[in-house]
């Protein structure tokens, strides 16, 4: 089974991505990306899954369990940190598109049913990670310690300026140990075109994943709309080609009782982190915050 799912291979009707745990060959983690025309409504039944409603482009109203959340959204994943909503398992969720809408639903199979909740954009921490050519933005909207209101689901967004590396040093989270927990992970890529803002197929980046014992290795060119599955092994770097900034949405979930995104670096490359204390941070980061573009 290939771990790389190019744009179009997970399409269902007009929706760019429908990925269930069964499609991925694992247990917990899923992703849907929906497209709605302006003024239209879509009803989503969550079943066994909790989810975030995360606008990628456009604004929407979310109605669930008698609550209504108006999501301001954004023009593009490269223009602003967005607000979002959490929706529980066993729910009927109504999405109303205020204009043309593209919205992601990162999902996790879970046990406990929590109440719906709104996540304001201004409360989302934006982290600058790394230094030099490994500088990138991490938007920690749905991670433990920031967003506690979830049973299994973890999610964050990254923006890598063109020419930079992210998900580096390579790391893994496929066993329970003193430094990691077991998580299945999805990478959902968007690649900006030459304006640096509008996702486009002309751009590309690179992604690597490999097994510690050398039994498998994939070094893949990724383009706008591609998905990469990480069931096990080390993954990284993700490299944004010069001229083409890279975004990806990370979705993680696993069997641990408590949500965690703990990982272990590949010991062959972990030493690189020590260099960052002496390297300047790329001034293009952070790229965005809740008010718009700043990098």
Q: What is the 3-state secondary structure (H, E, C) of the chain?
A: CCCEECCCCCCECCECEEECHHHHCCCCEEEEEEEECCCCEEEEECCCEEEEEEEEEEEEEEEECCEEEEEEEECCCCCCCCCEEEECCCCEEEEEECCCEEEEEEEEECCCCCCCEEECHHHCCEEEECCHHHCEEEEEEECCCCCCCCCCCEEEEEEECCCCEECCCCEECCCCCCCCCCCEEEEEEEEECCCCCCECCCCCEEEEEECCCCCCEEEEEECCCCEEEECCCEEEEEEECCCCCEEEEEEEECCCCCCCCCCEECCCCCCHHHHHHHCCCCCCCCCEECCEECC
pLDDT of the residue at 215:
84
106 neighbors 54 (Cβ within 8 angstroms): yes
pLDDT of the residue at 1:
56
Q: Across-strand partners of 218?
A: 209
Our count of domains for the chain comes to 1
Domain enclosing residue 223, as ranges:
4-110+120-286
| Domain contains 66 | yes
CATH number at residue 173: 2.60.120.10
pLDDT of the residue at 110:
98
Residue 213: Cβ-neighbour burial (10 angstroms; 0-12, 13-18, 19+): exposed
| Domain contains 293 | no
Q: Name the stretches of the chain with pLDDT < 70.
A: 1, 295
Query: Beta strand 234-240 with 205-210: parallel, antiparallel or unpaired?
Result: antiparallel
pLDDT of the residue at 212:
82
Q: What are 18's two structure tokens?
A: 């429908």
pLDDT of the residue at 295:
67
| Domain contains 294 | no
Cα distance between residue 165 and residue 282, in whole Å = 11
| Domain contains 63 | yes
Residue 44: Cβ-neighbour burial (10 angstroms; 0-12, 13-18, 19+): buried
| Domain contains 182 | yes
| Domain contains 292 | no
């Amino acid at each position: 089974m290939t771990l790389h799912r190019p744009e179009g291979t997970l399409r269902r009707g007009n929706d760019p991505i429908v990925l269930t745990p069964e499609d991925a060959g694992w247990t917990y983690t899923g992703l849907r990306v929906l497209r709605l025309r302006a003024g239209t409504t879509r009803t989503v039944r969550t079943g066994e899954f909790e989810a975030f409603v995360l606008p990628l482009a456009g604004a929407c109203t979310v109605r669930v369990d008698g609550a209504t959340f108006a999501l301001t959204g954004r023009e593009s994943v490269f223009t602003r940190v967005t607000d979002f909503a959490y929706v529980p398992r066993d729910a009927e969720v109504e999405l109303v598109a205020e204009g043309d809408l593209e919205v992601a639903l990162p999902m996790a199979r879970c046990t406990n049913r929590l109440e719906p909740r709104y996540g304001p954009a201004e409360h989302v921490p934006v982290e600058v990670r790394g230094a030099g050519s490994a500088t990138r933005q991490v938007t920690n909207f749905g991670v433990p310690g920031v967003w506690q209101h979830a049973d299994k689901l973890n999610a964050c967004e990254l923006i890598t300026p063109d020419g930079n590396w992210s998900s580096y040093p390579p790391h893994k989270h496929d066993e329970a140990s003193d430094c990691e927990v077991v998580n299945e992970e999805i990478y959902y890529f968007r690649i900006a075109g030459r304006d640096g803002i509008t996702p486009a197929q002309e751009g590309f980046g690179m992604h690597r994943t490999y097994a510690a014992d050398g039994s498998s290795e994939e070094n893949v060119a990724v383009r706008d709309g591609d998905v990469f599955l990480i069931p096990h092994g080390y993954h990284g770097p993700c490299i944004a080609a010069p001229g083409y900034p890279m975004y990806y949405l990370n979705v993680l979930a696993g069997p641990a009782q408590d949500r965690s995104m703990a990982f272990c670096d590949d010991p062959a490359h972990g030493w690189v982190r020590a260099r960052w204390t002496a390297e300047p941070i790329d001034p293009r980061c952070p790229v965005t915050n809740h008010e718009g573009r700043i990098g």
